[in-house]
Amino acid sequence: MLISHTKKFIFIHNYKVAGTSVREVLGKYRLSKWARLQQKLGLLPRNHQRTADNHLTALEVKAKIPKNIFEQYFKFGFVRNPWDWQASLYEYALKKSKS
pLDDT of 26-60, one tens digit each?
A: 877 776 665 666 666 665 555 545 444 577 888 98
Domain extent at residue 94: 2-98
Count of domains observed in the chain: 1
Q: What's the pLDDT score for residue 56? A: 83
Strand locations in 1-99, DSSP E? 2-4, 9-12, 74-77
**Which residue did the predictor score with more confidence, 64 or 55?**
64
Q: What's the pLDDT score for residue 96? A: 82
Q: What is the DSSP string of 19-34?
A: HHHHHHHHGGGTS-HH
pLDDT surpassing 90 at residue 74: yes
| Closest C-alpha to 20, from 3, 41, 38, 1 | 1
Percent residues over pLDDT 90 in the chain: 12
